[in-house]
Structure 1
Amino acid sequence: MTDPSSCASSGGPGSLPRLTRARAPLTHVVQVINERGEREDVHIPAERPLTVYVDKRELVTLMTLGAEPELLVLGYLRNQRLVDSVFDIESITVDWEVHSAAVRTHRGIARIEERTASKVVTTGCGQGSVFGGLMDEVDRIALPAATLSQAELYGIVNAIRLKESTYKSAGSVHGCALFRGAELLTFVEDVGRHNAIDTIAGWMWMNGEARAPEPEYGAGQGDALTAQSAGVPASETASANAGGPTPASVHTAMQGADKVFYTTGRLTSEMVIKSAQMGVPIVVSRSGMTQMGHSVAQQLGLCAIGRATNRRFVCYSGADRLILQPELAQTPLTTPQDASEPTAAAAR
Structure 2
Amino acid sequence: MPPRPKSDANTAAYLIAPNPAAPGLTRAVQGTDHEGLTQTINVIEERPLTIFLNAQEIVTAMTIGDYPEYLALGFLRNQGMLQDDEAVLRVDYDEELETVVVRTDGKTTYEEKLKKKTRTSGCAVGTVFGDMMEGLEGVQLPDSRVKTSDLYALAHLINRTPSLYLEAGAIHGTVLCEGARPLVYMEDVGRHNAVDKIAGWMLSEGVSAQDKLLYTTGRLTSEMVIKTALMGIPVLASRSGFTAWGVEIAQQVGLTLIGRMRGQRFICLSGESRLVRDADPAHVVEEDRKHRRKGADQ
Q: TM-score range by the shorter chain?
A: 0.7 to 0.9
| 1:105 positional shift | 2.2
Amino acid at match of 1:94: Y
Cα deviations by residue, 1:95-142 (Å, 9 ceiling, x for unpaired): 232222222222332x32123221111111011111111111222101
Task: Give the Cα–Cα distance (whole angstroms) in 2 for the partners of residues 335 and 129 of structure 1.
Answer: 34
Amino acid at match of 1:276: A
2:72 equivalent in structure 1: 73
1:73–1:127 distance in 2 versus 1, CA, 3 Å: same
| TM-score, with length taken from structure 1 | 0.74
| TM-score, with length taken from structure 2 | 0.86
Give the one of 194, 197, 200 matched to 1:196.
Answer: 194
Task: Give the Cα–Cα distance (whole angstroms) in 2 for the partners of residues 86 and 58 of structure 1.
Answer: 22
Task: Give the Cα–Cα distance (whole angstroms) in 2 for the partners of residues 340 and 64 of structure 1.
Answer: 26
- Aligned ranges for residues 155-170 of structure 1 at < 5 Å? 155-170=153-168
Contact map agreement 2:254 2:271 (CA 8 A) in 1:
yes
Q: Which moved more, 1:316-325 or 1:302-311?
A: 316-325
Give the one of 145, 148, 162 matched to 1:147.
Answer: 145
1:92 equivalent in structure 2: 91
| 1:338 positional shift | 4.8
Give the one of 286, 305, 309 matched to 2:258.
Answer: 305
Amino acid at match of 1:142: Q
1:124 equivalent in structure 2: 122
1:56–1:155 distance in 2 versus 1, CA, 3 Å: same
2:207 equivalent in structure 1: 254
Cα deviations by residue, 1:270-307 (Å, 9 ceiling, x for unpaired): 11111111111111011111111011000011110001
Contact map agreement 2:173 2:185 (CA 8 A) in 1:
yes
| 1:56 positional shift | 2.8
1:315 equivalent in structure 2: 268
DSSP-derived class of the 2:141 partner: coil
Contact map agreement 2:264 2:286 (CA 8 A) in 1:
no
Cα deviations by residue, 1:58-104 (Å, 9 ceiling, x for unpaired): 21000001121110000001000101149622222222322222222
Amino acid at match of 1:83: L
Q: Unaligned stretches of 5+ in structure 2?
A: 2-21
Task: Give the Cα–Cα distance (whole angstroms) in 2 for the partners of residues 196 and 102 of structure 1.
Answer: 19
Task: Give the Cα–Cα distance (whole angstroms) in 1 for the partners of residues 245 and 180 of structure 2.
Answer: 28
Task: Give the Cα–Cα distance (whole angstroms) in 2 for the partners of residues 91 and 340 of structure 1.
Answer: 43
> How large is the Cα RMSD of the aligned pairs?
2.1
Task: Give the Cα–Cα distance (whole angstroms) in 1 for the partners of residues 272 and 159 of structure 2.
Answer: 24
Q: Unaligned stretches of 5+ in structure 1?
A: 3-22, 208-252
Contact map agreement 2:152 2:284 (CA 8 A) in 1:
no
Task: Give the Cα–Cα distance (whole angstroms) in 2 for the partners of residues 264 and 55 of structure 1.
Answer: 33
Task: Give the Cα–Cα distance (whole angstroms) in 1 for the partners of residues 81 and 25 of structure 2.
Answer: 28
1:328 equivalent in structure 2: 280
